[in-house]
């Protein structure tokens, strides 16, 4: 086994890590030992990672699919594992504090034999992490909460991250890749939470993946551009872009429905759930709230009636 590790280290330019009893994990120009073998020489983009218990304990990584978030997570776990197994590691340099366990929540799968949905499997794995991770552990999270509603998923992801930051008063070293850009606000609540993103560049209505980890969060996922790269028909891409711009512009009808659904759609008689978008402001209602009836003369009241009538006609769908 050690002969094989030595041969790999010599052949693939691995370096000897410094394994310590400290809390820091510092990797300079780390690489994924498997993915870099599948690429032409020199094509893999290395990245630095630093984790400690004081200033950078939880890293939240945002960015589009295919940019390389999952690769950064996995290569960090593999480098730590290889170092503690006595192997050289695919990095320019590495200082690895010994960890008691590496916990991972990656991928999406169900368990039909046990009757568990993808979301249930995800929650089981998350529960195991929250219940058993210690300050000496390393936690790798690749998305949490995708299998339920957006608000439920975001709430769970936020609470899980808060718990990992504060567990036992020391927290747990964690790297969390997510599409919930709202989680970047956690950096405002704890100095040990830091935001990073995987760099991309827009070019001719498409994007170019740079695969480089940069400090700071991002507020875009480039999902439509990634769909186009995957070969989704152009008509669907154009329609999705139109819908996205429509939603971002807040263009909703008086019933709170996006105008893409049609302005002539009648509101449901008994809504089954709360509307995501608040109804448009009623100008007649606003006008009525601004007047004092006891202070109006008969002529002012008549003029006001005509104004309300005109407002009502302007608001007719």
Instruction: Indicate the domain borders of the chain.
Output: 2-218, 282-317
Cα gap 124→128, rounded to integer Å: 6
Share of the chain above pLDDT 90, in %: 46
Structure tokens at 262: 């049609």
Structure confidence at residue 52 (pLDDT):
94
Among 5-19, 210-224, 285-299, whose mean pLDDT is lowest?
285-299
Structure confidence at residue 309 (pLDDT):
78
In this prediction, residues 118-138 reach a mean pLDDT of: 92
In this prediction, residues 272-299 reach a mean pLDDT of: 66
The beta-carbon contacts of 212-220 under 8 Å, at least 24 apart in sequence, are 212/45, 212/47, 213/47, 213/48, 213/49, 213/61, 213/68, 213/72, 217/60, 217/62, 217/181, 217/184, 217/187, 218/62, 218/63, 218/181, 219/181, 220/64, 220/181
| pLDDT beyond 90 at 49 | yes
| pLDDT beyond 50 at 79 | yes
Name every residue whose Cβ is closer than 8 Å to that of residue 263 and which is 6 or more positions away in sequence.
253, 317
Average pLDDT over the chain, rounded to an integer: 84
Cα gap 82→258, rounded to integer Å: 52
Among 13-22, 227-236, 294-303, whose mean pLDDT is lowest?
294-303
Among 111-120, 198-207, 234-243, whose mean pLDDT is lowest?
111-120
Cα gap 105→122, rounded to integer Å: 7
- Angle ∠(97,101,106) on CA atoms, nearest 5: 110
Q: What is the enclosing helix (H) or strand (E) of 28?
A: strand 25-30
Structure confidence at residue 260 (pLDDT):
53
Name every residue whose Cβ is closer than 8 Å to that of residue 275 and which is 6 or more positions away in sequence.
256
In this prediction, residues 24-31 reach a mean pLDDT of: 96
Closest to 304 (Cα-Cα) out of 293, 317, 315: 293
- The larger pLDDT score, comparing residue 305 to residue 31, is at 31
- The larger pLDDT score, comparing residue 204 to residue 180, is at 180
Share of the chain above pLDDT 70, in %: 85
Among 48-52, 158-162, 259-263, 281-285, whose mean pLDDT is lowest?
259-263
Class of domain 2-218: alpha beta
Structure confidence at residue 272 (pLDDT):
44
Cα gap 41→46, rounded to integer Å: 12
In this prediction, residues 303-312 reach a mean pLDDT of: 79
Q: How many C-beta atoms lie closer than 10 Å to residue 151's C-beta?
A: 10
What are the start-end ranges of the H helices in the chain?
2-11, 69-84, 118-132, 150-166, 223-229, 234-248, 283-289, 298-314
């Amino acid at each position: 086994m050690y002969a094989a590790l030595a041969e790999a280290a010599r052949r693939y330019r691995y370096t000897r890590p410094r394994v310590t009893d400290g809390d820091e994990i510092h990797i300079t120009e780390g690489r994924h030992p498997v993915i870099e073998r599948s690429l032409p020489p020199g094509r893999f983009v290395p990245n630095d990672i630093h984790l400690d218990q004081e200033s950078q304990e939880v890293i939240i990584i945002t960015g589009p699919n295919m940019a390389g978030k999952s690769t950064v997570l996995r290569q960090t776990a593999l480098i730590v594992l290889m170092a503690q197994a006595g192997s050289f590691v695919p990095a320019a340099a590495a200082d690895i504090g010994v960890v008691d366990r590496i916990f991972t929540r990656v991928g999406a799968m169900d368990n039909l034999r046990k009757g568990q949905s993808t979301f249930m499997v995800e929650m089981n794995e998350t529960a195991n992490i929250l219940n058993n991770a210690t300050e000496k552990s390393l936690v790798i999270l690749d998305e949490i909460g995708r299998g339920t509603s957006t608000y439920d998923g975001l709430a769970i992801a936020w609470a899980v991250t808060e718990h990992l930051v504060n567990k036992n008063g020391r927290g747990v070293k964690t790297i969390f890749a997510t599409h919930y850009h709202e989680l970047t606000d956690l950096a405002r609540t704890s100095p040990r939470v830091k935001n990073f993103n995987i760099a991309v560049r827009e070019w001719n209505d498409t994007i170019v993946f740079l695969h480089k980890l940069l400090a700071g969060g991002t507020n875009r996922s480039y999902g439509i551009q990634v769909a186009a790269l995957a070969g989704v028909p152009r008509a669907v891409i154009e329609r999705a872009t139109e819908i996205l711009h429509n939603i971002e512009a807040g263009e909703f009808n008086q019933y709170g429905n996006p105008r893409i659904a049609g302005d002539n759609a009648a509101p449901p008689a008994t809504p089954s759930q709360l509307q995501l978008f608040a109804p448009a402001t009623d100008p007649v209602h606003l006008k009525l709230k601004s007047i004092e009836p006891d202070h109006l003369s008969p002529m002012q009241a008549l003029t006001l009636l005509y104004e309300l009538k005109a407002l009502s006609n302007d608001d007719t769908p």
